[in-house]
Structure 1
């Protein structure tokens, strides 16, 4: 897939666990895990906004386009 999710990289840089992020953005661990592993088919802008606020980052830090 040409869209790569770098959520785990940003979380590691911020030293934040999946549990902490889940609590801050009010998203279930399972949904956050699906996003983190790149298995999500879509992400809502409100979810992306909440994650960016919690991790103090930009959407481009989390999502990356990579040519096949």
Structure 2
């Protein structure tokens, strides 16, 4: 997948005072989303919005595009 996380989201949340327990208890992020973050799998736009709010950042601060070797540049 060409979209990757630039940072360890769960570590950044922990540094901001949000343990996985607190995220679940306060229903900020569900268990399935936490598991997706652990595995590096993309999350929904809604969850991305919540992450940006909690971390006080923009999506570009936590996501990056890395082209696969198989992909070709679009022709104009």
The alpha carbon displacement at 1:19 in A equals 3.4
Larger-Rg structure? 2
When the two chains are superposed, the root-mean-square deviation of aligned CA atoms in Å is 2.6
Unaligned runs of 5+ residues in structure 2 are: 69-76
The higher relative CO (CA closer than 8 Å, separation ≥ 6) is in 1
Alignment TM-score, normalising by the size of structure 2:
0.58
Give yes or no for contact 2:20–2:34 (8 Å, CA) kept in 1. yes
Consecutive unaligned residues in structure 1, runs of 5 or more: none
Number of matched residues?
A: 65
Which protein is richer in helix relative to its size? Answer: 1
For 1:7 and 1:18, how far apart are their aligned partners in 2?
A: 16
